[in-house]
Amino acid sequence: MSTVLAEKITRRYGSRTVLHELDLAIDRGEFVALLGKSGCGKTTLLRALAGLDPVDGGTLEVPQRRTVVFQEHRLLPWWKVWRNVAIGLPRSTARAKAQSALEEVGLSNHADAWPVTLSGGEAQRVALARALVREPELLLLDEPFAALDALTRIKMHGLVRDLTSRHRPAVLLVTHDVDEAVLLADRVLTMREGRIAAVHEVPAGARERGSAPFAALRGTLLGELGVTE
Ligand SMILES: Nc1ncnc2c1ncn2[C@@H]1O[C@H](COP(=O)(O)OP(=O)(O)OP(=O)(O)O)[C@@H](O)[C@H]1O
């Protein structure tokens, strides 16, 4: 039984169809990355799975426990870091749970800091802690590393790999970064004009940047996206 099951989902904006009878299944513990040109419908699909936007047709099954990490951290500036992580948790366990989630992302010593004092990478780590503290069955990542510098992004990839293999939610990552998709995902989907255009299982050997399987899959994906190097 899949954690996410979308069958023939359709989404329209006025007369324009942005998702065309799209099918998608993601199992527990499976990491799926979604690539596609700007405007092809990636965020629309993610928002539908998050329950932030309705669909106009088809059926969609998603778990109740789902969280989204966006490109911008969306921390509340008037609350300390730990309170941001603990939003919505029962009072009695909030602090302890937030503390342990912050430990997992390497920020236990920032629990009492204000969000404004954090670097971009730290703030995204807090956003990840806030997502994971709820033990989601579905984790939706909408270009969460796009605004980070290259070195911080690489560190975040390692962290996300560790966290998702430990917690094993179903994951959908929307990204423009082909390398990121190959390094993190079990399966990479490319999307074109509201449809899934191709599905690629990522061979284990491809998870190493610079390896031959990595380069091969990267080349295929760039070709599908119409990018020439
Ligand atoms: N609220 C809206 N009203 C009307 N059209 C919309 C709305 N949201 C998105 N669209 C249109 O739907 C299409 C798909 O948008 P979406 O944001 O899903 O694309 P995307 O693949 O995530 O793009 P990007 O990579 O640039 O973020 C776009 O053409 C966009 O203009």
Per-residue confidence band for 213, with pLDDT thresholds at 50, 70 and 90: very high
In short, whether 52's Cβ falls inside 6 Å of ligand 1 is: no
The confidence score (pLDDT) of residue 73 equals 87
In short, whether 42's Cβ falls inside 6 Å of ligand 1 is: yes
Q: Could you report the per-residue pLDDT of 47-69, keeping only the tens digit for each?
A: 999 999 999 999 999 999 999 99
In short, whether 19's Cβ falls inside 6 Å of ligand 1 is: no
Q: How far is the CA of 38 from the centre of ligand 1 (A)?
A: 8
Predicted TM-score (pTM) of this structure: 0.94
Q: Could you report the per-residue pLDDT of 84-103, keeping only the tens digit for each?
A: 999 989 999 999 999 999 99
Q: How far is the CA of 190 from the centre of ligand 1 (A)?
A: 16
The chain-wide mean pLDDT, for the chain, equals 94
Q: How far is the CA of 138 from the centre of ligand 1 (A)?
A: 22
Would the pLDDT of 208 be above 80? yes
Instruction: Report all structural domains of the chain as residue ranges with CATH numbers, in order of start.
Output: 4-74+136-224 (3.40.50.300)
Would the pLDDT of 1 be above 90? no
Mean pLDDT of 166-190: 95
Bridge partners, residue 5, by sequence: 25, 61
In short, whether 36's Cβ falls inside 6 Å of ligand 1 is: yes
